[in-house]
């Protein structure tokens, strides 16, 4: 399992100039796509960037230049998303469990030479990061999670307001192939309707990044991959989270939780209180934006996240 250079897609050349595009086989037959700015003799500490639904690593293009001044960056596509592998789901959805997706990222970073690293993650990627920090605590130095409360808390506290706002949580978990078929009928419309219905509409998104989200969502297997991600979250992931809670296990590393002041997480949950139930060292607060923090409020994100990450 050796990292292989791939031809940079046009969006990567434009959004991440100077980065290398890689596909890394993290288990036999399953490769994770990523971009990295690592160079020979690099002394910058590593930082893993993980995206959310229905996006790709392109979400980080606005903050990558400043982050790269301080860190060796690895921006990866989750399994089922972007240009990463999209395996068929298992009956219990275990191959899209956050435990399995977190193992992808631990292996990716190790194969790239990073035994210990910080993580900055948004939305679905933040759920993978939560499990990465729980299962591979020795590898994760610091954790920044964007616009989520813990999955278990969000399901256990589901209200009518939350269900209406996060309707896709309950649509995507329906039995295959119903949601897949509806998304595949018009992937571009799904993207516009889901992302455009949030606080800021489509205005925050660079057309090149938005086109990249559309290209990837239209790939065979993409709709199934993201549905399986959500199906796992509503089943096997809750089992893993309950096991941690019942055993009294907490994340040991410092955690910074940030969320959009205009978002659903702010309206429906108490993020700091919920993260303090599952982590030992928690700080954070709201930023002046909605859900898509790295694209809506890149300067505000850097202002809060950089001092925390550099304190390591």
240 is catalytic: no
Give the other-Cβ count within 10 Å of 23's Cβ: 17
CB 132 within 8 A of CB 74: no
Out of 123, 147, 229, 241, the active site residue is 123
The closest alpha carbon to 241, from 123, 149, 170, 161, belongs to 149
Query: What span, in angstroms and rounded, lies between the C-alpha atoms of 88 and 227?
Result: 11
- The structure tokens 């018009």 sit at 186
The closest alpha carbon to 46, from 22, 67, 26, belongs to 67
199 is catalytic: no
DSSP secondary structure, 225-258, as one string? HHHHHHHHHTTHHHHHHHHHHHHT--EEEEEEEE
Give the other-Cβ count within 10 Å of 77's Cβ: 25
Record the tokens describing residue 105, joined without a space.
């990222």
Query: What span, in angstroms and rounded, lies between the C-alpha atoms of 127 and 294?
Result: 16
CB 49 within 8 A of CB 60: yes
Active site residues: 123, 291
């Amino acid at each position: 399992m050796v990292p292989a250079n791939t031809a940079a897609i046009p969006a990567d050349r434009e959004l991440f100039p100077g980065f290398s595009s890689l596909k890394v086989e993290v288990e036999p037959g399953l490769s994770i796509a990523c971009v990295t700015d690592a160079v020979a003799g690099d002394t910058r500490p590593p930082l893993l960037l993980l995206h959310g639904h229905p996006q790709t690593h392109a979400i980080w293009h606005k903050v990558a230049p400043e982050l790269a001044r301080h860190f060796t960056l690895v921006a990866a596509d989750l399994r089922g998303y972007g240009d990463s592998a999209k395996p068929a789901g298992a009956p219990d959805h275990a191959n899209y469990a956050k435990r399995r997706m977190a193992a992808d990222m631990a292996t990716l970073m190790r194969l790239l030479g990073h035994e210990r690293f910080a993580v900055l993650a948004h939305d679905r990627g933040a759920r993978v990061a939560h499990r990465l920090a729980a299962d591979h605590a020795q590898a994760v130095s610091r954790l920044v999670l964007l616009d989520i409360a813990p999955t278990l808390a969000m399901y256990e506290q589901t209200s009518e307001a939350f269900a209406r706002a996060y309707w896709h949580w309950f649509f995507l978990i329906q039995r295959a192939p119903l949601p897949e078929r509806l998304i595949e009928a018009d992937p571009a419309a799904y993207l516009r309707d889901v992302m455009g219905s949030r606080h800021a509409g489509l205005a925050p998104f660079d057309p090149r990044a938005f086109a990249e989200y559309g290209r990837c969502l239209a790939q065979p297997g993409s709709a199934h991959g993201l549905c399986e991600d959500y199906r796992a979250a509503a089943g096997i992931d809750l089992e893993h989270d309950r096991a941690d809670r019942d055993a009294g296990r907490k994340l040991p590393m410092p955690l910074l939780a940030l969320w959009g002041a205009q978002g659903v997480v702010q309206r429906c949950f108490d993020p700091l209180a919920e993260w303090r139930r599952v982590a030992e060292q928690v700080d954070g607060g709201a930023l002046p934006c909605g859900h898509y923090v790295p694209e809506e409020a890149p300067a505000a994100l850097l202002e809060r996240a950089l001092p925390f990450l550099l304190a390591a």
